[in-house]
Amino acid sequence: MKSDFTYDLVIIGGGISACVFASKYLKNNITKKIALVEIGRGLGGRSSTRISKRFKGWKLNHGAPNFNISNSKNNLLLKSYIDELLENKFIKIDDSDIIFLNQDLNSESQKKSEFSSGFNYFSLDSMSQLSQNIIESNNLKGKIDFYFETLIVDLKFNNNEWLLTSKNGDTFKSKYLICSTNLLLHKRSLKILNINEIPLRKAIPINDDKKIDLILNFLEEQSFIPRLTFLIYTNENYSYKDFYSKQQRYFYLGKNLENKYKFERIIFQMQDNNRLGIVVHTKNIEFINSYINAKNKEVFKQKIITNFNKLFEDNSVVNKLNFDDEISIMKWRASQPSGIAVPLSLQFSRKYRIGFCGDWFEGEGFGRIEGSILSSLILEKKINCLFK
């Protein structure tokens, strides 16, 4: 049965940017009626955790495993928010080993990746739990209505009100709309949602709002990096060669090694059940296509183990895998935006009462959690001043 819902503000998306925005907004506007609509089964988006029914007790961070804050410009808004997360014990400094493997398979410990510069943090629990903790802080959870497994496919702005329609026909009316994803603004929506016009363009005609036109123009030039992550559920005898007690351990591959083995980064994640999970990331397009086209996915999985074992053949801390270790694969169609970032000055339109946040905005956190958090904090400040 289809339902109609009415709110003061609706947020599309349930990733970390939506959670940061919602928690800050509600803290300052406790009487407002808010809904968060997310196509996934829970919060976290691209920084979430696979909690498998098949592999009980395992929690593998299959998107962002942790996050780094460069904040080289000393943005105080960002700094004080990170301090707040630390004080609340939602995150802690990540002092895990970061090992860069170079061409000769030697290890170096310099920080060379976009994902490790500055200060590194990880969630005290899983990455999905971080988004939940952010929402639950200050007892705000009960103040938001959550609609999971709900995909918004259409937007309309009529009589000063937003009307959102989901794939199954539910409608959401709201005075204000926040898009924490740019799917409904970007041409990739045409294929993904099987529609003829970009939903935001359909809702707001060209030449009606300069900011909206500009944002859509910028997004014409934004593309996305696809990634695969291989989640390896090692068998019970698997461990490191050495004694290592920290929760995670990161191996980054230099360009030549990445070309040879097709892996970008390998993250060892110690589980509560003392089993060692391994998440392997790849963004090598040929490798991704060979997975998509592989008739026999099991043969492909064996290739992953073969490559892993060759890479770590003589490594002093990593043991080889067995061919009976279980692997599941996560396909990220759009793991990170790339190319042109959208200027923060276009983050909201007063005329249409719509705001945007996420990692697709300009700044040193572009394409990372740092950018998602900062854009949400900035948006909330702007909206608090202007949307009252």
Give the whole-angstrom CA distance, residue 316 versus residue 240: 9
Closest to ligand FAD by CB, 118 or 254: 118
Member of 85, 101, 177, 183 binding ligand FAD (CB under 6 A)? 183
Angle at 159 between CA 195 and CA 17, to 5 degrees: 60
Give the whole-angstrom CA distance, residue 388 versus residue 20: 19
User: First vs last Cα of the chain: how many Å apart?
Assistant: 34
Residue type, 78: L
Member of 11, 16, 232, 253 binding ligand FAD (CB under 6 A)? 16
Give the whole-angstrom CA distance, residue 115 versus residue 209: 36
Member of 7, 10, 14, 301 binding ligand FAD (CB under 6 A)? 14
Residue type, 21: F
70 burial level (CB within 10 Å; 0-12, 13-18, 19+): middle
Beta bridge partners of 329: 230
Closest to ligand FAD by CB, 184 or 377: 184
Span from 88-96, 295-303, 316-324, 368-376 in contact with ligand FAD (CB under 6 A):
368-376
Contact positions with ligand FAD (CB under 6 A) in 95-134: 115
Closest to ligand FAD by CB, 305 or 337: 337
Give the whole-angstrom CA distance, residue 185 versus residue 347: 13
In this structure, what token pair is assigned to residue 329?
Answer: 């694969």
CB of 35 to ligand FAD, least distance (A): 11
Residue that has been written with the tokens 């495993």 in this structure: 65
**Contact predicate 286/276, CB 8 Å:** no
Q: Is 335 in the site for ligand FAD (CB under 6 A)?
A: yes
Contact positions with ligand FAD (CB under 6 A) in 34-53: 37-40, 45-47
Q: Is 355 in the site for ligand FAD (CB under 6 A)?
A: no
Closest to ligand FAD by CB, 148 or 323: 148
CB of 174 to ligand FAD, least distance (A): 14
CB of 152 to ligand FAD, least distance (A): 4
CB of 102 to ligand FAD, least distance (A): 20
CB of 86 to ligand FAD, least distance (A): 17
**Contact predicate 369/46, CB 8 Å:** no
State which H helix or E strand residue 311 sits in: helix 297-311
Contact positions with ligand FAD (CB under 6 A) in 292-331: none
DSSP tag of 15: B
Q: Is 64 in the site for ligand FAD (CB under 6 A)?
A: yes
CB of 31 to ligand FAD, least distance (A): 25
Q: Is 67 in the site for ligand FAD (CB under 6 A)?
A: yes
Give the whole-angstrom CA distance, residue 155 versus residue 199: 6
Give the whole-angstrom CA distance, residue 19 versus residue 132: 8
Q: Which residues bind ligand FAD (CB under 6 A)?
A: 12-18, 37-40, 45-47, 63-65, 67, 115, 151-152, 180-181, 183-184, 227, 229, 281, 332, 335-336, 358-359, 367-370, 372
